[in-house]
């Protein structure tokens, strides 16, 4: 998975508006950079107006309002679209320009280029460490007028994250969507009708290509006690937890009201969800992605979404503000359909967000409300059509692999600090493409954490000349961080977006340059 992770935090002892933006994770080793900056007064003005127009509650600004009115600035524009559309666009562009400037922009453009070159998607994950910035709608960032917002793209998959997390537990590989639907106390809801409507919404499938949809089951609990909820989750059969009802912001993840004056805190829920192996938690409750406040200041790490992610829940989807019922149902239906069609969680959120924009228009806040948090080590895959796992490295006797003509293979020299004892192992290379990686769908499996699922490929190209076949082999990197190496005259060289021709006796290394085993490429003529 190709990831670019950015973090934003306030600099202490340097003034109230001084921030740092830096790259936490990049698709290539030299991409780790940092930029100091000031939160612009113009951006703060647009944010203040956004809250006055769209927010149901008033949040505090980052800096004092400057004297120039944003209303005046926007009204003076030649743009003839409604004011709300201009405000939406102005805030999105202002947020983009603040984040993606200077060295950060360079890293962004190069990361996008790597994704295009590898024919894959770039996962952009944003970590907002300063709690006062969490309420901003980062999902609406756009580079310039006429371009798509960052969270609507199917090529750049956007989510939020946090690096202060518990390790990700071992996750089950599943082919079925298994949802526990919990309806809590909410005086505005007719719970029986709500349960039937939500079940129908989650289970519905598009009429076309239903054969490609993953199966889906829904178990519903209406106003359960905390004990009943815990017992049901600890059966360990669910991969999605869905809550609809009333929520309240508070430290430790807030409170969810289950009914009959019973509630469960975000911290308590996080522990049981982690034990139960739930991969995705969805909250159709107000402010699940907003932190609590104390003396008009946001409390660090207090939002429900952050608490769950920090305790090891892989994915959490919450709302930044209140969302209307009809908007919520539209989002849920599209989201569930996308998950059942085997899209990743961040792809499914982008598709459902696009559905909200189509139905309720760009200048309305509905499509900006869902906020997705992903654990930094989670690949965002909820269900898979092909099961993946770790298998042992093939151990073939080289004498049984020799065939007439040319034979190529890799032999492990056993000089690394790997936890495996691979010295002397030999693996035959295919006449075509030999895939090397961590999971069992590869031809050569190296079950180490520092090896990507699909780490590298060795390509064999055959040429016929005068009725004789000549085979030429090339090494290509496919890893997340570009950690495929070959030994040249001036030391270990990194393979980067190129095919390196292989010669017999050439030494290769995959993954960690300090712990990885050294392999020798051998080409034998017969």
Show the 3-state SS of 144-191: CCCCCCHHHCCCEEEEECCCCCCCCCCCCCCCCEEEEEEECCCCCCCH
Instruction: Return d(Cα 30, Cα 321) in angstroms, integer.
Output: 38
CA atoms within 13 Å, Cβ hemisphere of 167: 2
pLDDT at 21: 94
Look up residue 298 and give its DSSP letter.
Answer: E
Which pLDDT value is given to residue 152?
A: 93
> What local confidence, expressed as pLDDT, does residue 219 receive?
92
Residue-wise pLDDT tens digits, 427-470: 989 877 898 998 888 889 998 888 888 899 898 877 655 555 67
Segment 65-120, tens digit of pLDDT: 333 333 433 433 333 457 888 899 999 999 999 999 999 999 999 999 999 988 99
Contact 272, 231 (CB under 8 A): no
Provide φ and ψ at 112, rounded to 5°. Answer: -60, -40
* pLDDT value for 187: 55
The dihedrals phi and psi of 235, each to the nearest 5 degrees, come to -65, -20
**3-state per-residue secondary structure call for 68-123:** CCHHHHHHCCCCCCCHHHHHHHHHHHHHHHHHCCCHHHHHHHHHHHHHHHCCCCEE
The Cα–Cα gap between 306 and 329 comes to: 24
Per-residue pLDDT at 186: 67
Alpha-carbon distance of 155 to 151, in angstroms, equals 10
Residue written as token pair 């095919």: 499
Quote the pLDDT of residue 519. 93
Supply the pLDDT for residue 60. 46
CA-CA distances (angstroms) from residue 251 to 92, 109, 288, 301, 474? 29, 38, 12, 8, 55
Contacts of 509 (CB under 8 A, 6+ apart): 416, 484, 485, 486, 487, 492, 516, 517, 518, 519
- CA quadruple 249, 160, 71, 44: dihedral, nearest 10: 80
User: Under 8 Å CB-to-CB from 295, ≥6 apart: which residues?
Assistant: none
Q: Which residue stretches of the chain have pLDDT < 70?
A: 14-15, 55-81, 186-192, 194, 205-211, 385-405, 415-423, 463-469, 496-498, 526
Cα 111 from chain centroid (whole Å):
15
Structure tokens at 229: 């909820």
H-run or E-run covering 199: helix 191-203
Distance CA 391, CA 389 (A): 7
Q: CB under 8 Å to 373, separation ≥6 — which residues? A: 159, 160, 161, 162, 289, 305, 306, 308, 309, 315, 316, 317, 318
Q: How far apart are CA 250 and CA 219, in angstroms?
A: 28
Judge whether 54 and 78 are in contact, CB under 8 Å: no
Q: At what angle do helices 191-203 and 325-340 cross, to 10 degrees?
A: 30
- Chain Cα centroid distance, residue 85: 28
């Amino acid at each position: 998975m190709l990831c670019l992770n950015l973090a934003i935090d306030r600099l202490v002892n340097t003034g109230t508006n001084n921030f740092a933006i830096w790259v936490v994770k990049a698709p290539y080793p030299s991409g780790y950079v940092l930029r100091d900056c000031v939160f612009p007064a113009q951006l703060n003005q647009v944010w203040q107006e956004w809250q006055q127009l769209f927010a149901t509650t008033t949040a505090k600004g980052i800096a004092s309002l400057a004297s120039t009115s944003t209303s005046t600035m926007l009204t003076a524009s030649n743009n003839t679209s409604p004011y709300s559309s201009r405000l939406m666009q102005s805030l999105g562009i202002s947020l983009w320009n603040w984040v993606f400037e200077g060295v950060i922009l360079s890293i962004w453009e190069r990361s996008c280029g790597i994704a295009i070159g590898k024919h894959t998607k770039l996962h952009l994950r944003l970590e907002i460490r300063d709690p006062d910035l969490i309420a901003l709608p980062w999902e609406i960032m756009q580079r310039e007028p006429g371009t798509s917002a960052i969270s609507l793209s199917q090529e750049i998959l956007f989510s939020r994250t946090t690096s202060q997390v518990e390790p990700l537990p071992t996750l089950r590989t599943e082919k079925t969507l298994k949802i526990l639907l919990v309806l809590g106390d909410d005086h505005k809801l007719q719970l029986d009708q709500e349960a039937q409507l939500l079940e129908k919404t989650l289970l519905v499938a598009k009429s076309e290509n239903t054969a490609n949809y993953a199966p889906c089951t829904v178990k519903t609990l209406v106003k359960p006690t905390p004990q009943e909820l815990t017992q049901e989750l600890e059966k360990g059969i669910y991969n999605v937890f869905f809550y609809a009802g009333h929520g309240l912001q508070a430290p430790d993840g807030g409170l969810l009201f289950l009914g009959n004056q019973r509630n469960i805190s975000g911290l308590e829920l996080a522990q049981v969800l982690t034990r139960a192996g739930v991969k995705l938690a969805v909250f159709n409750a107000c402010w699940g992605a907003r932190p609590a406040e104390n003396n008009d200041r946001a409390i660090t790490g207090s939002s429900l979404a952050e608490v769950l992610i920090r305790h090891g829940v892989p994915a959490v989807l919450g709302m930044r503000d209140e969302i209307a019922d009809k908007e919520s149902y539209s989002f849920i239906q599209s989201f569930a359909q996308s998950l059942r069609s085997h899209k990743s969680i961040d792809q499914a959120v982008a598709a459902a967000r696009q559905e909200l924009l189509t139905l309720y228009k760009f200048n309305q806040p509905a499509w900006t409300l869902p906020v997705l948090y992903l654990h930094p080590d989670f690949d965002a895959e909820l269900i898979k059509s092909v099961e993946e796992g770790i298998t042992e490295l093939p151990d073939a006797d080289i004498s049984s692999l020799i065939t007439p003509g040319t034979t190529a293979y890799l032999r492990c020299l056993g000089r690394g600090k790997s936890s495996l004892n691979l010295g002397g192992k030999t693996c035959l290379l295919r006449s075509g493409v030999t895939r090397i990686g961590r999971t069992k769908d590869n031809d050569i499996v190296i079950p180490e954490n520092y090896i990507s699922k699909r780490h590298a490929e060795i390509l064999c190209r055959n040429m016929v000349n005068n009725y004789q076949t000549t085979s030429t082999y090339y090494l290509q990197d496919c890893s997340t961080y570009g950690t495929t190496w070959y030994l040249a005259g001036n030391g270990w060289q990194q393979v980067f977006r190129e095919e390196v021709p292989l010669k017999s006796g050439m030494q290769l290394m995959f993954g960690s340059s300090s712990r990885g085993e050294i392999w020798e490429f051998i080409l034998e003529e017969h």
